[in-house]
């Protein structure tokens, strides 16, 4: 029996987004888990870029997943699933931001962009590196993270989407509801500000900042699935 169950297990990891969405709509936890695992890092980084706090960024992404699950029937595949999820996450993040501060005009942000920012501790690099090499790498990464942290929010979120997540100009513009030229201008300003704070040799560490793997990814995925338990039950409770 166990061998038969293994033979008939669904390979969610090999599925296209549309197939995962279809299964998730019919109550397959594994399908929605796979969706979250595919989206987690980008959505966390983008939420983190807006709200500037690790814990709140996790809350934002979890809330975005809840909203997305309720709206899965509206996903038509006209945009990539990750792009669709990005928009939901940004809406949630900016909604939180509006709740805690008055909107500031971009010109005012630019006028204050030379002000120092608060340093926030980020998750450290994981792995089996030599302790000395790992400590040096962590120090460099923290410098990069602090420099990104200090960017004004409109520049920071564009930088994260374009440079760290590899989003196209068009996808970034659509997600943020701004013109493509505005994306290019803000990215240019972000790069210029970072160059003033960092040496060019630090650029190679960008792929490692704001890590979102391991326990954090698993914890968030499991938390969302637990919160969705009543909805799965209503849909027939398809066990994976």
**Count of domains forming the chain:** 2
Residue 87 to residue 64: CA distance in whole angstroms: 9
Contact between 81 and 21 (Cβ < 8 Å): yes
- What is the structure's pLDDT at 146? 84
pTM: 0.69
Question: Residues with Cβ < 8 Å from 180, sequence gap 6 or more?
Answer: 169, 170, 173
Cα 157–Cα 159–Cα 162 angle in degrees, nearest 5: 105
Output the domain CATH number for residue 43.
1.10.1740.10
- What is the structure's pLDDT at 202? 53
The one-digit pLDDT tens for each residue of the chain (240 residues) are 444 444 457 899 999 999 999 999 988 999 999 999 999 999 999 999 999 899 999 999 999 999 999 999 888 777 789 999 999 999 999 998 888 764 445 554 455 444 444 333 444 444 555 666 677 677 777 878 888 988 999 999 999 999 999 999 999 999 999 999 999 999 999 999 888 877 654 555 566 667 666 778 888 888 999 998 888 877 766 655
**37 and 94 co-located in one domain:** yes
- What is the structure's pLDDT at 136? 67
Contact between 46 and 161 (Cβ < 8 Å): yes
Tell me which residue of 45, 80, 47 sits closest to 64, measured CA to CA: 47
Tokens representing 55? 């814990």
Report percent pLDDT > 90 for the chain: 45
Cβ neighbourhood burial of 128 (10 Å; 0-12, 13-18, 19+): exposed
At how many degrees (to 10) do helices 215-227 and 54-70 cross? 40
- What is the structure's pLDDT at 78? 75
**Is 7 contained in some domain?**
no
- What is the structure's pLDDT at 122? 41
* Other CB atoms within 10 Å distance of the CB of residue 158: 28
**215 and 195 co-located in one domain:** no
Cβ neighbourhood burial of 184 (10 Å; 0-12, 13-18, 19+): middle
* Other CB atoms within 10 Å distance of the CB of residue 26: 13
**34 and 97 co-located in one domain:** yes
Tell me which residue of 158, 48, 122, 54 sits closest to 92, measured CA to CA: 48
**62 and 89 co-located in one domain:** yes
Provide the CA 142 distance to its chain's centre, in angstroms.
Answer: 19
Tell me which residue of 59, 121, 129, 70 sits closest to 95, measured CA to CA: 59
Which residue range(s) make up the domain with 93?
12-105+211-240
**205 and 221 co-located in one domain:** no
Interval 71-111: pLDDT, tens:
998 887 777 899 999 999 999 999 988 887 644 455 544 55
**Is 184 contained in some domain?**
yes
**196 and 220 co-located in one domain:** no
Output the domain CATH number for residue 146.
1.10.10.10
């Amino acid at each position: 029996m166990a061998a038969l169950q293994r033979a008939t297990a669904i390979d969610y990891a090999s599925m296209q987004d549309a197939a995962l969405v279809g299964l998730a709509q019919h109550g397959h936890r594994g399908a929605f888990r796979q969706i979250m695992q595919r989206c987690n890092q980008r959505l966390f980084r983008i939420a983190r870029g807006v709200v500037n706090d690790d814990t709140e960024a996790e809350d934002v992404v979890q809330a975005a997943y809840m909203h997305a699950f309720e709206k899965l029937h509206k996903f038509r595949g006209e945009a990539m699933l990750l792009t669709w999820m990005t928009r939901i996450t940004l809406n949630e993040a900016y909604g939180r931001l509006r709740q805690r501060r008055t909107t500031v005009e971009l010109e005012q942000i630019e006028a204050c962009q030379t002000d120092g920012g608060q340093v926030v501790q980020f998750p450290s690099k994981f792995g089996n590196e030599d302790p000395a090499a790992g400590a040096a790498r962590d120090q460099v990464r923290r410098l990069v993270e602090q420099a990104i942290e200090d960017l004004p929010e409109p520049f920071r979120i564009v930088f994260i989407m374009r440079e760290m997540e590899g989003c196209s100009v068009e996808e970034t513009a659509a997600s943020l509801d701004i013109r493509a030229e505005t994306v290019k201008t803000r990215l240019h300003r972000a790069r210029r500000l970072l160059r003033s704070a960092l040496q060019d040799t630090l650029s190679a560490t960008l792929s490692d900042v704001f890590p979102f793997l391991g326990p954090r990814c698993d914890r968030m995925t499991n938390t969302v699935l637990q919160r969705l338990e009543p909805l799965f039950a209503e849909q027939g409770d398809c066990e994976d």
